[in-house]
Structure formats: structure tokens, C-alpha cells
């Protein structure tokens, strides 16, 4: 959530940066400023009225002590309306603050100055490309056919049990999933992240804190009877561990990692591009999260991007890094890098990770603060990244490493799988 003081003091810049996102409801900026101005006016009026009431009370007390009862009663009669006026102001202030809050949560984060202009994915900037795209023979199979051929993933059985988008991993497919999870967690620990096993059901306050609510409410699974939500990513419970917390500046950077299943409704997603593992309702992911000092967050973002790339390099998967344009960024992000892996059989890029800096957008909602050297409370910066989401990684491992003998397991995973081939 944006800070009202910043909006008020930087109106033109806020409008310009929101326009970079192709955000249409720019009138909200002036509405927020007007409501904040009225809130401040009410507070000034309320403070002045309270001062008058206090002064009258002191004067009445002094007159009573002097035995001037008639004069005291006259002042008491004139000041009798103070309570009613104060209640009226308090009621108006409550309404104004509620309206202000409702409009503030509709404003997305402001893009960083390096975010390119653009309307959608086609306008994202390619930062770099790494590795060589494998050339497969004409009879090469996409991963969903390989999964059936080697009996490692059963999409139809998952549909029978739950519905489409809930695959069943079997045999070496299940072991490969577990191997990737353990490999990614071990690498995160080596990089200084502390492993956490968080809940996978969250309350509304947690969903609001990291920005999934109200923005993505329709994409989350809701357990209505208990008013809980299945997490779309471990970012949500991990970051919310520090909700309403004052951390020590010396604790930065706070680095957390977690493996969780993730759940997304993906409403409206259909077609060939979502076939197989390309888009699921339930999937496994290892997440990394950092809470850092504002002065270092963009340096940390680059470090996190490099770390995720190191995982893709270890798996020997060709990938590219995109800097997302204003029109393709998430609601809460100030700057996002997407990592995409080349699917040799599908002949297209598949997103496997997003690494984002949210600056103070999440921490303002979460109230994650620290006391700086000047003694003033400041908001921390929050960042997170997928390290990594498994489905499309598995899809590319299967497709890119298929041979006449079978599927060759990446060397770094062999100690975790206990086998070198799926055949």
C-alpha cells in the first residue's frame, strides 16, 4: 500500500509512474489527496475543539474554587455543545478514513524508474539469455507424452481424483519431484536462507498484508466455513511472520526459504499453452524471501536474480531473464525479473521464476518497521522469488534431456534421485 504522505507530496510523479503501468483510475490519486486533506482538517478542528473544552473546564474549575458559581455555570452552559461537536467530528473522521483506506488499497505499487514502458508480455525487456537451446529430433515428444510413455505422471488419474490441473506423480516422477525440492532447499540454505515450514492456509489479514487480497481474491481457493485461503505461494506466510513487528536494523538482511504446495484457481486459463504441466491448480515450489534495509534492496534484488539463475545453470537448462514492463507487472511489485526456460519440444519459453522488489508496498500493509540510526521508525523493504517452481522445470528437464535410451537426469540431482535415467 502506498504511503499517503508520499502521494500528497509527489502527486505528479505518482500519476506519471502509475501511468507507466497503464493504470486507468488515475483520478484515485486526487481523491486520496482530497480525503487526506479533509482528514487533516478534521483532526485540526478536533484538536482545537478539545483545547477549547479543556480551557473551559479549567476556567470553570477556577471559578468554582473562587466561589463564582453563577459565572462558572454560565461558561458550562456555553460549553455544553463541545461533546456533541466532538462526536460529530469523530464520526466524520471515521467515515473519511474508511473511504481513504478503501481508495488506497486500489492503487498498485509505483514502478521503479528502470521499468520499461509496455502493455503486456510482448513488451518485456530481455536482459540476458544463457545456454544453448537443444536441437531435438523430429520424433521428440512433449513432456505430457513422455510422462505417459514412462508412467511417471498421470494427468487423467488426477482429473478423476480432483479435476484438471491436479496431476499424480508416480514412481521415478515422484522421486524426481522430491529430489528437486531437496536440492533447491539445500542450495538456499547454502546461500544463507533459513528454512521454515509455514502453514499453507492463511487468514484474510495475511492475504491483505502481502497484497493478494483484495487484488487476487478470485484466483485463490477459499475455505468459506473457516474464512481461510489456500496459499498461492509461500511468500504469503513467510512475509507475514513479521507482520506488526519492529525488527532490529542489525537483523538485516532477514533471509527465509520454504517448500510448500501452492494453489491457484487460474480461472479463465485454457488452450494448448496450458497443457500438461504448463499450468496447474496445485504445484510445488521453493520460495526465497528477504526483508532488508531500504538502502540495499535493489542490490539484493540483483543478488536474488543471480541466485535463481545459478539453480538453472546447475540444472543445465537454457534460460533467459526478462525485466517486466509496466503493463505486465504484478500489482504489488516495483520491479520484477522473470526467468524463462526454453522448452525444446514445445519450442517456446516457459516462465519458471519471478523475483521482485516490493519496496515498502507490502511492509506498509504489514507494518514491518525498524528504528534507523536517526532514531525514527522506517518501513523495511521486502523481496521474494521462486527458487524454483517445479512443474515447468520438470517439463523442460523431461523434454530437453530425452534420448533414444530414455531421459537423462541432470547430474546435480542424481545424488537426490538415486538414479541417472528414466527409462
Annotated binding-site ranges = 233, 264-266, 287, 351-354, 384
User: Which SS3 state, helix, strand or coil, does residue 189 take?
Assistant: helix
**Beta bridge partners of residue 343, listed in sequence order:** 348
Q: Strand 228-230: give its sheet, edge to edge.
A: 201-202, 228-230, 222-223
Dihedral (C-alpha) 81, 84, 87, 89: value to the nearest 10 degrees?
Answer: -60
Q: Please, are residues 173 and 158 in contact by the beta-carbon 8 Å criterion? A: no
C-alpha cell at 50: 478539545
Annotated binding-site ranges for ATP = 264-266, 351-354
Distance CA 386, CA 417 (A): 22
Backbone angles phi, psi at 151, to 5 degrees: 55, 50
Annotated binding-site ranges for L-serine = 233, 264, 287, 384
Q: At what angle do helices 27-65 and 11-20 cross, to 10 degrees?
A: 150
Q: Please, are residues 327 and 120 in contact by the beta-carbon 8 Å criterion? A: yes
Nearest to 335 by CA among 105, 108, 12: 108
- The enclosing H or E element of 216 equals none
Work out the widest C-alpha separation in the chain, in whole angstroms.
109
Q: At what angle do helices 297-314 and 172-190 cross, to 10 degrees?
A: 140
Chain-centroid distance, C-alpha 202: 14
Amino acid at each position: 500500500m502506498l504511503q499517503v504522505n508520499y502521494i500528497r507530496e509527489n502527486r505528479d510523479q505518482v500519476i506519471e509512474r502509475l501511468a507507466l503501468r497503464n493504470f486507468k483510475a488515475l483520478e484515485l490519486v486526487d481523491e486520496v489527496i482530497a480525503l487526506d486533506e479533509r482528514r487533516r482538517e478534521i483532526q485540526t478542528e478536533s484538536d482545537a475543539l478539545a483545547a477549547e473544552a479543556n480551557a473551559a473546564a479549567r476556567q470553570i474549575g477556577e471559578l468554582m474554587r473562587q466561589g463564582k458559581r453563577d459565572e462558572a455555570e454560565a461558561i458550562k452552559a456555553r460549553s455544553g455543545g463541545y461533546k456533541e461537536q466532538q462526536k460529530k467530528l469523530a464520526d466524520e473522521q471515521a467515515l473519511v478514513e474508511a473511504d481513504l483506506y478503501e481508495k488506497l488499497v486500489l492503487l498498485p505499487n509505483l514502478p521503479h524508474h528502470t521499468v520499461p514502458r509496455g502493455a503486456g508480455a510482448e513488451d518485456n525487456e530481455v536482459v540476458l539469455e544463457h545456454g544453448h537451446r537443444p536441437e531435438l529430433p523430429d520424433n521428440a515428444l512433449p513432456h505430457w507424452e513422455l510422462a505417459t510413455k514412462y508412467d511417471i505422471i498421470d494427468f487423467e488419474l488426477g482429473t478423476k481424483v480432483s479435476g484438471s490441473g491436479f496431476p499424480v506423480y508416480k514412481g521415478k516422477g515422484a522421486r524426481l519431484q522430491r529430489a528437486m525440492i531437496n536440492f533447491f532447499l539445500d542450495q538456499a540454505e547454502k546461500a544463507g536462507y533459513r528454512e521454515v515450514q509455514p502453514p499453507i492456509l492463511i487468514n484474510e489479514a495475511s492475504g491483505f498484508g502481502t497484497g493478494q487480497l483484495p487484488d487476487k481474491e478470485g484466483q485463490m481457493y477459499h475455505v468459506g466455513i473457516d474464512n481461510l485461503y489456500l496459499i498461492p505461494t509461500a511468500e504469503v506466510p513467510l512475509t507475514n511472520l513479521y507482520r506488526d513487528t519492529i525488527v532490529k536494523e542489525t537483523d538485516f538482511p532477514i533471509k527465509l526459504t520454504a517448500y510448500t504446495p501452492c494453489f491457484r484457481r487460474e480461472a479463465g486459463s485454457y488452450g494448448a499453452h496450458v497443457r500438461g504441466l504448463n499450468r496447474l491448480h496445485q504445484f510445488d515450489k521453493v520460495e526465497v524471501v528477504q526483508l532488508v534495509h531500504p538502502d540495499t534492496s535493489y542490490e539484493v534484488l540483483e543478488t536474488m536474480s543471480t541466485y535463481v539463475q545459478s539453480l538453472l545453470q546447475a540444472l543445465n537448462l537454457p534460460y533467459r531473464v526478462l525485466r517486466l514492463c509496466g503493463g505486465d507487472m504484478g500489482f504489488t511489485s516495483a520491479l520484477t525479473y522473470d526467468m524463462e526456460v526454453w522448452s525444446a519440444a514445445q519450442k517456446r519459453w516457459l516462465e519458471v521464476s519471478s523475483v521482485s522488489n516490493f519496496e515498502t508496498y507490502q511492509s506498509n500493509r504489514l507494518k514491518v518497521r525498524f528504528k534507523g540510526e536517526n532514531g525514527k521508525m522506517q518501513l523495511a523493504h521486502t523481496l521474494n522469488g521462486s527458487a524454483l517452481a517445479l512443474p515447468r522445470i520438470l517439463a523442460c528437464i523431461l523434454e530437453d534431456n530425452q534420448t533414444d535410451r530414455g531421459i537423462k537426469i541432470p547430474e546435480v540431482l542424481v545424488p537426490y534421485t538415486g538414479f541417472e535415467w528414466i527409462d
